[in-house]
Amino acid sequence: MKKNIIPIVFISIIAGLLVGLILASSINIHTLSYSSPKIPKESIDILTKTGEAMASVVEAVKPAVVNISTVKTVRLRDPFFDDPFFRRFFGEPFGIPRERRQTGLGSGVIVDPSGYILTNNHVIRGADEIKVTLFDKREFKGKVIGTDPKTDLAVVKIDAKDLPYIELGDSDKLKVGELVIAIGNPYGLNQTVTMGIVSATGRANVGIADYEDFIQTDAAINPGNSGGALVNAKGELVGINTAIFSTTGGYQGIGFAIPSNMAKAVMEQLIKNKKVIRGWLGVSIQALTPDMKKHFGLKEDRGVVINQIFENSPAEKAGLKEEDIILQYNGKDITDPTQLRNLVANTPPGKEVELKVFRDGKVFSVKVTIEELPQEVVAARGEYENALKGVVVQNITPEARKELQIPPRITGVIVADISEDSPAQGYLQKGDVIMAINRTRINNTKDYQKIVSKLKEGELLLFIYRDGQTFHLTLSME
């Protein structure tokens, strides 16, 4: 039996080798018979040149994008202990604020060789220390020249010369579908470059800032990109990357950038005046619906209708009337109220502009001299740059005193509304009576406006009446 096993094993080995050779030869034959499709030389050349062109643009502008890191002291105080009931029973020690140091990361763009940097206001807001790191790893202490929360822009200066910078482009010339490049420091990853197209222009009502005219792009923008550059194919700065639309906190294909023309106007005023002085036309306007256009006899697909003319305003002085339809502002077609509001706000006070107006079936021109936005208008909107930003107040009328059961001895102003992004959100409540600010008594809205309009960022001490109790409350921007 053992003698028969050897020939059988030998035959099995030989058979296995033959099968292997046959399979190998068939594979080789198949492989030799297959040829990969060739890419046309013209296609390779076009793609290569495109890639080289984009790389050269990035190489030229990337050194001007900086990393901005901040440190700020945050005062922690639970509003639970500002309630008069708990302060009465638990005492003041429970209301003592705690402090901790908080760090932040963002981006910025050098727009002048002498060291002026554009960034977002939310990147440097409330910072005690600002460190700017250049592409070559040099570090500088940043100084805030000015901020404009209404557009979420800020200007920072570093003490250096002959710096790389990006020239400002004309964002009004951007077209949907145009290639753009976003550069920033997402998640602390320095000098990150992404590419996309302009998805839309003139985006408003996003809820990011008071004055919105955003460029929408699908170039990837993530946390840390804020304040970075959005450049066109010419290497010009066309936008300051600001925010993303996301349900997860990460990139989902929708990013927003502040147009360079808006950024330039704000920057120039911040450098010159340390604040932004906005223009005022003195009208209340609204968009036109198809039914309204039909009623007014307007056949053009543009314009906004005037609902109200403010007394002694530039509009009144120019002879504008309610139900006039503004078609053009200084040569630019008007398509929605936000567009007109931005154009007026960016117009320097004292400048004369020309409006095209539709009235009673006729189109005519009107020249208007834009004036500075009055303080009382700013106050009515709660547009302050301190912890009372977004807080709207009203006088204590006899009706309000009766409805809210406010005793005769209580004087001040009633909190009528608080915006969702207000620093006072969660601390003040609608119906609260603000009796004093920083130990200065308040009798009416005029007193309130006079005090609050002069306050800057920092902690405020309020004396409040609420539900039969009076107490002190501290507020800050953070």
DSSP code per residue over 168-185: B--GGG--TT-EEEEEE-
Alpha-carbon distances, residue 185 vs 121, 229, 383 (angstroms): 16, 10, 31
- 200: nearest Cα among 183, 180, 184, 186: 180
Residue 33 is encoded by which pair of tokens?
């018979």
The active-site residue, picked from 69, 107, 122, 313, is 122
CATH 2.40.10.120 boundaries in the chain: 51-277
Contact assessment for residue 327 and residue 333, using Cβ atoms and an 8 Å cutoff: yes
Contact assessment for residue 224 and residue 189, using Cβ atoms and an 8 Å cutoff: yes
- 478: nearest Cα among 463, 459, 461, 462: 459
Residue 473 is encoded by which pair of tokens?
């409350």
Assigned architecture for domain 51-277: Beta Barrel (2.40)
pLDDT at 24: 54
The active-site residue, picked from 199, 226, 422, 476, is 226
Reply yes or no on whether 226 is catalytic.
yes
CATH 2.30.42.10 boundaries in the chain: 279-372, 379-475
DSSP state of 62: G
pLDDT at 376: 61
- 99: nearest Cα among 70, 74, 129, 126: 74
State the 10-residue block means of pLDDT for the chain, 478 residues long: 51 58 52 68 86 88 92 62 52 55 85 94 88 92 91 93 93 92 82 89 76 85 83 93 66 83 92 88 88 89 88 91 93 89 90 94 94 70 72 81 88 83 84 92 86 78 91 80
pLDDT at 19: 56
pLDDT at 246: 55
Compute the distance between CA of residue 76 and CA of residue 73 in angstroms, rounded to an integer: 10
The active-site residue, picked from 148, 152, 324, 432, is 152
Compute the distance between CA of residue 143 and CA of residue 121 in angstroms, rounded to an integer: 13
Contact assessment for residue 193 and residue 183, using Cβ atoms and an 8 Å cutoff: yes
Compute the distance between CA of residue 318 and CA of residue 367 in angstroms, rounded to an integer: 7
Assigned architecture for domain 379-475: Roll (2.30)
Query: How do residues 200-259 score in pLDDT, each as one tens digit?
Result: 988 877 767 778 788 999 888 877 778 899 999 999 999 999 876 655 555 667 888 999
Contact assessment for residue 241 and residue 182, using Cβ atoms and an 8 Å cutoff: yes
CATH topology of domain 279-372: Pdz3 Domain (2.30.42)
Contacting residues for 339 by C-beta, under 8 A, at least 6 apart: 202, 204, 213
Query: How do residues 118-135 score in pLDDT, each as one tens digit?
Result: 999 989 887 889 999 999
Instruction: Tell me the H-state helices in 325-415.
Output: 337-345, 375-380, 398-403
pLDDT at 211: 80
